[in-house]
Structure 1
Amino acid sequence: MFKPVEDLSTARILVSNDDGITAPGIKILERVARSISKDVWVVAPETEQSAVAHSLTIRRPLRIRRVSRRRYAVDGTPTDSVLLAINHLLKDKKPHLVLSGVNRGGNLGEDVTYSGTVAAAMEATLLGVPAIAFSQMLSPGQAVKWDTAEYFAADIIRRVTAVGWAKNVLINVNFPDLHHEQVTGIEVVRQGRRKLGDELMERQDPRGEPYVWIGAQRAEDRGQEGTDLEAVHRGAISVTPLCTDLTSRRTMQELEKVFP
């Protein structure tokens, strides 16, 4: 079990993301972290790495650029960033907590398998550090309601880290597309179902060559109560524990009958 963080004010906190070191969401999360602790480090991708999932760079060397005091950019993925932070930059004193985000856009349902934001938290979990991923829902063509994440994140961090959880679990938090005063509450819910890539757009480039663009359209199931999708679309903040162990225990039992 990850033990509760008894005193966040003295905890070392690592902040990362998948939108890149200059993204507005990571600046918000850094401010939130600094309101909790004085020992805050930021190690994030040099450029946007959305939907890279849990990719690890192994075919080329990685470069680390010092941006400012306790702030570093990595020319790799979110997984690379967290790995280098914990096992290289902070190896003499590893972080007590990793915060990933705040992502520009939700990470709900099956999104979590593609998400670099969730992957950064997953990498920390695999390295033995408790982690929380944060994402902010948005509407196309409208300003992102960053005030919601900034208003609620610190309280969520304090309340979540006050309890321990299993060492193969990370916490996934999604803020609804509402300003903070409109949020209906904070709910612990399970992962829903939402699949990216149902809309494929076939076009031709200026040279007449065909290409296919994966669209943003998703098939969603918002009607299932108790899921992250249903909660955020009802105006609540969703808190979902995700397990890094993907084993299906039920299927194991069935296969054991076939392979006694």
Structure 2
Amino acid sequence: MKTILLTNDDGYDSKGLLALKEALCEIANICIVAPSTEKSACGHGLSLTKPLRFVKIQEDFYKLDDGTPADCIYLALNTLYKDKHPDLIVSGINLGSNMGEDITYSGTVAGAMEGVIHGIPSVAISQVIKDKSNIDGFDFALAKQSIFEIVSKIFEGGFPLEDRKFLNINIPQILPSESKGYQITQKGYRIYSNQAHFNTNPRGQGYYWLGLHPLAWNERKKPTGMLSDFGAVSKGYVSITPITLDMTSYEDINSLSLWLK
């Protein structure tokens, strides 16, 4: 069977991660290496100033003590997979969306980024959730169906992207029967607001707590007529966005050269 390495940024006991394992265990041998605690919005960070320790939960299931998603992938590939790398890395299912510029903050997306840096086909998958406080009864049905179909297609026909590129998938919060299918999308233009909330602790000391931004966006102008990840999800599609690690702005090279002269 094929082999898949799973990680996330919500922690090893996340319902999204366990749903991902359940969705893919019939078509691949699964190994999980996930952070011991929530690492949301940690970005593509590696832990360079502290030791890291694997804690075995069960067979082929480890938590990395205070590690980031990138730590999980990096160490797993260099310790658990010394002889042969996994066929695929899947990071998620994240509890909340990862669209637009949010992907630069996302630990979930960083897990996929770390995978393709090491030359392994990788996918990040996130579930739009309107109320995270009511996650207990959520069954991830559309997300599980979607990732099963997409991974099956990858195994049957090969990964559709070149080196150092990965798939970023976002699932709308609807039933499978309500889904309009898949939509290939571009990364949307995320709109941020001030969510730095000031409070005072019992000792009278002030502090700030960063809150969640409302899910607001604009569609990008190019290419004309192409939906963004935000637009597709809002219309009931599963969004699949190809992401490249090459952030060079090629369209500005000539103008920048003229400016420098």
Same fold (TM > 0.5): yes
- Listed as ranges, the gaps of 5+ residues in structure 1 are 1-9
Give the match for residue 117 of structure 1: 108
Give the match for residue 6 of structure 1: none
Counterpart among 67, 75, 78 of residue 87 in structure 1? 78
- Kindly report which structure 2 residues correspond to 1:75-224, keeping only aligned pairs within 5 A, or say none: 75=65, 76-140=67-131, 141-143=133-135, 144-160=138-154, 162-163=157-158, 164-196=160-192, 198-218=194-214, 220-221=216-217
Q: Deviations over 1:100-131 (max 9, x none)?
A: 10000010111100000000000001011010
Residue 54, structure 1, aligned to residue 44, structure 2: yes
Residue 68, structure 1, aligned to residue 58, structure 2: yes
CA contact (8 A) 2:191 2:217 kept: no
CA contact (8 A) 1:14 1:95 kept: yes
Q: Deviations over 1:215-260 (max 9, x none)?
A: 2123622556510001111111000011111111122222222446
CA contact (8 A) 1:134 1:172 kept: yes
CA contact (8 A) 2:184 2:240 kept: yes
Identity of aligned residues (%): 34
TM-score by length of 1: 0.90
Give the match for residue 241 of structure 1: 242
1:180 Cα deviation from its structure 2 partner: 1.6
Counterpart among 19, 31, 36 of residue 28 in structure 1? 19
Counterpart Cα distance in 2 of 1:247 and 1:231: 26
Counterpart Cα distance in 1 of 2:25 and 2:215: 38
CA contact (8 A) 2:189 2:219 kept: no
CA contact (8 A) 1:198 1:218 kept: no
Give the match for residue 5 of structure 1: none
Give the match for residue 3 of structure 2: 12
Residue 221 of structure 1 aligns to a residue whose secondary structure is strand
Counterpart Cα distance in 1 of 2:68 and 2:238: 27
Structure-2 change in CA distance of 1:219 and 1:65 (3 Å): closer
Counterpart Cα distance in 2 of 1:195 and 1:123: 26
CA contact (8 A) 2:192 2:216 kept: no
